[in-house]
Amino acid sequence: MRNWLPVLLLIALLCGLCAAMPVLEPLFRGLQPDKARVIYQRESLFFLLGHHLMLVAVSAAVATLVAVAAGIFATRPSGRDFLPLVSQVASIGQTFPPVAVLALAVPVLGFGEAPILFALMLYGLLPILRNTLAGLEGLDPTVREAALGMGMSPWQVLCQVELPLAGRVILAGIRTSVTINIATAAIGSTIGARTLGDPVIAGLVNGNTAYVLQGAILIGLLALAADSLFEALERAWGAGVAIANK
Amino acid sequence: MIELKNVTRRFGDTVAVDGIDLAIETGEVCVLVGSSGCGKSTTLRMINRLLPHSSGEIRVDGKDITTLNPERLRLNMGYVIQGTGLFPHWTVARNIALVPRLLKWPQARVDARVRELMTLLDLDPDTYANKYPAQLSGGQAQRVGVARALAADPNILLMDEPFGALDAITRENLQLEMLRIQRQVRKTTVFVTHDIDEALKLATRIAVMDQGRIVQHDTPENILRHPASEFVENLVGKQDRGLKLMSLRPVRELMTAHARPRPATPGADALGEDDSLREALSVMLCRNLTQLPVCNGRGEETGVIARERIIRDGV
Ligand SMILES: Nc1ncnc2c1ncn2[C@@H]1O[C@H](COP(=O)(O)OP(=O)(O)OP(=O)(O)O)[C@@H](O)[C@H]1O
Ligand SMILES: [Mg+2]
């Protein structure tokens, strides 16, 4: 339970801020005295938060499925030939800036959610793929040999031995992916997706620092909440593995 | 019964196993010895199909193994791997229960079997059943590895240096346990080691391997008495073959038995009937004695053994 306390606190703070941003008006007024409005009210912050989360969750789910499947495939005897290629893609792709992906996707997919979803998936895939490969390749080969040698089928070895043992590393990859994508998703506001980046962009366009700050705080809190959620998940992942890794 | 006929295994250009012929009778302990890299583990892995053989034929109980389902084949072959290969995320009990669970035994039977095996291998179930492999010592982990291989009572045991990397005392204990278990539950066993003393102690027959070939396949006694080549002679130790021969024979064979067992003299040095002639001679030389009493398992003195006799007839 102690593991989950920070997560709950951060989520409570996030929701609290979304609901009660107007209460902080005096604070933001001090920051930006020259503007008539200092609290972003064009759209409900809950709506933006929900949308932002949806974009990240959908892209993370797809990226996880694809990356884990590709990682598993590349480490099977039948897919071994692709392993160098897959691991190169995983490491090179990471050096590609997300804005560039967006710029390339817009002409093809148009404005709105589609290009940002595409960019998030592509970008979120890489850390997961890299960690899936590292996790599966890093297993003690004697464990795999024993598992097969004792008569487990390749499928049983994968589900009962390899994935549980590599799970923490894969989970760490998903954590990196999600945290990065919570920040990256905000860029979606520049091409018409509704996200917590909206107040930031509006603030930048109108020279309203208070708006920028409100968006940034919420995005930061969301990233922190997600990060601590994954930290708690990693801790909860099998006491045995934790002991084995000591 | 396991038969290898002209079996070869290549890795690219290197020939790891080079046309070997080997027949292992049911209930026999066949020990593969040889220096590092001579193809022992490769031979073992071909028998359970972890590695396919490049050419030749392997039969288990008359059936060509390439015609059998690999998982089915392996479920009937306990496998103790070089370096334990225990699952780090499973408890000791769950590790041992692996094969019974794959075979879908009822839970109660699995639990009973796990306790039975842990007791057999001298691991207290109450203390160790719920520990994780990382919490065990090297010797305990190797015992768990042996227990896991024995769990579903397979007909065949493949053991790849199961007692490697252990101190001499633990190793000796495990060897004695293995001999005891083997007397209770005769299994067709292929045992890999590079320790010739271990081979002499455990083997029904020894197969000496060198660079992928079997250079001699015979009983420990014949290997010692008639080494087939210079290589085998060096392996068994040119100088102390006599002592090694003595270590194959128990004291019982040369002792002068009493008409009926009598109570042992308390405090005196005594040998067990199953101790080797080598140990008997060693004790006598050390204590400067010309004879020693011999006791049976119940602690009664059943005879005496004389130094003269060992020196005259021991080899
Ligand atoms: N997967 C592999 N790929 C390439 N070569 C291999 C492979 N496995 C084994 N070999 C080679 O085959 C030869 C025999 O190896 P093997 O593992 O059978 O030796 P071993 O007798 O068990 O040695 P040790 O006592 O050190 O365990 C060695 O020369 C080794 O380099
Ligand atoms: Mg080996």
Per-residue H/E/C for A52-94: HHHHHHHHHHHHHHHHHHHHHHHHCCCCHHHHHHHHHHHHHHC
Residue A29 lies in a domain: no
Distance, CA of B237 to CA of B242 (rounded, Å): 10
Residue A188 lies in a domain: yes
Residue A238 pLDDT grade (very low, low, confident, very high; cuts 50, 70, 90): low
Express each pLDDT in A134-187 by its tens digit: 999 999 999 999 999 999 999 999 999 999 999 999 999 999 999 999 998 998
Q: In this predicted model, which residue has the larger pLDDT, B205 or B270?
A: B205
Q: Does the beta carbon of B49 sit less than 6 angstroms from any atom of ligand 1?
A: no
Q: Pairing relation of β-strands B29-33 and B55-60? A: unpaired
Please tell me the total number of residues recorded for chain B in this structure: 315
Residue A246 pLDDT grade (very low, low, confident, very high; cuts 50, 70, 90): very low
What's at A41, amino acid-wise?
A: Q
Percentage of residues in chain B with pLDDT exceeding 70?
100
Instruction: Work out the mean pLDDT of chain A and round it to a whole number.
Output: 88
Query: Taking a C-beta distance cutoff of 8 angstroms, is the pair A25, A236 a contact?
Result: no
Q: In chain B, what are the domains?
A: 2-76+155-239 (3.40.50.300), 90-145 (no CATH), 251-313 (3.10.580.10)
Q: What's the domain range around A91?
A: 44-245
Choose from B87, B132, B153 for mutation: most chain A CBs within 10 A: B87
Chain A residues in contact with B148 (beta carbon < 8 A): 150
Distance, CA of A209 to CA of A35 (rounded, Å): 10
CATH number at residue A109: 1.10.3720.10
Stretch among A240-244, B80-84, B297-301 having the lowest mean pLDDT: A240-244
**Among candidates B81, B102, B134 on the partner chain, residue whose Cβ is nearest the Cβ of A244:** B134
Residues 6+ apart with CB under 8 A from A100: none
Residue A11 lies in a domain: no
pLDDT of A67 strictly over 60: yes
Q: Does the beta carbon of B45 sit less than 6 angstroms from any atom of ligand 1?
A: no
Distance, CA of B290 to CA of B153 (rounded, Å): 47
Chain B residues in contact with A151 (beta carbon < 8 A): 71-75, 77, 99, 102
pLDDT of B16 strictly over 80: yes
Query: Taking a C-beta distance cutoff of 8 angstroms, is the pair A74, A66 a contact?
Result: no
Stretch among A86-95, A235-244, B56-65, B150-159 having the lowest mean pLDDT: A235-244
Task: Report the nearest atom of ligand 1 relative to the CA of B192.
Answer: 22
Residue A1 lies in a domain: no
Q: Does the beta carbon of B11 sit less than 6 angstroms from any atom of ligand 1?
A: yes
Distance, CA of B24 to CA of B26 (rounded, Å): 7
Structural domains counted in chain A: 1
CA B160 to ligand 2 centroid distance, Å:
7
Long-range CB pairs of A57-63, under 8 A, 24+ apart, other chains included: A58/A117, A59/A117, A59/A120, A59/A121, A59/A124, A59/A181, A59/A185, A60/A120, A60/A124, A60/A174, A60/A177, A60/A178, A60/A181, A62/A121, A63/A120, A63/A121, A63/A122, A63/A124, A63/A125, A63/A128, A63/A177
**Among candidates A140, A149, A161 on the partner chain, residue whose Cβ is nearest the Cβ of B74:** A149
Other CB atoms within 10 Å distance of the CB of residue B299: 11
Q: In this predicted model, which residue has the larger pLDDT, B298 or B217?
A: B217
Query: Taking a C-beta distance cutoff of 8 angstroms, is the pair B275, B250 a contact?
Result: yes
Distance, CA of A146 to CA of B85 (rounded, Å): 5
pLDDT at A11: 92
Residue A32 lies in a domain: no
Q: In this predicted model, which residue has the larger pLDDT, B57 or B301?
A: B57
Express each pLDDT in A11-52 by its tens digit: 999 999 888 888 888 888 888 888 878 888 888 888 999 999
DSSP annotation of B81 reads: -
Closest residue on chain B to A144 (Cα): B85
Q: Does the beta carbon of B40 sit less than 6 angstroms from any atom of ligand 1?
A: yes
Q: Under an 8 A CB cutoff, do B75 and A151 touch?
A: yes
Q: Under an 8 A CB cutoff, do B87 and A243 touch?
A: no
Structure tokens at A210: 């208070």
Q: Whose atoms come closest to the Cα of B213: which ligand? A: 1
Other CB atoms within 10 Å distance of the CB of residue B225: 13
Distance, CA of B244 to CA of A187 (rounded, Å): 79
**Among candidates A150, A161, A164 on the partner chain, residue whose Cβ is nearest the Cβ of B74:** A150
CA B41 to ligand 2 centroid distance, Å:
4
CA B17 to ligand 1 centroid distance, Å:
9
Helix (H) or strand (E) holding B60: strand B55-60
First-to-last alpha carbon distance for chain B, in angstroms, is 32
**Among candidates B71, B87, B132 on the partner chain, residue whose Cβ is nearest the Cβ of A143:** B87
Q: Does the beta carbon of B16 sit less than 6 angstroms from any atom of ligand 1?
A: yes
Distance, CA of B207 to CA of B209 (rounded, Å): 6
Q: Under an 8 A CB cutoff, do B87 and A142 touch?
A: no
First-to-last alpha carbon distance for chain A, in angstroms, is 22
Neighbours of ion ligand 2 (CB under 5 A): B 41
Residue A190 pLDDT grade (very low, low, confident, very high; cuts 50, 70, 90): confident
Please tell me chain A's helix, strand, coil percentages from 3-state DSSP, rounded to the nearest 5: 85, 0, 15
Query: Taking a C-beta distance cutoff of 8 angstroms, is the pair A135, A166 a contact?
Result: yes
DSSP annotation of B121 reads: T
What's at A187, amino acid-wise?
A: I
Query: Taking a C-beta distance cutoff of 8 angstroms, is the pair B49, B4 a contact?
Result: no
Chain A residues in contact with B74 (beta carbon < 8 A): 148-151
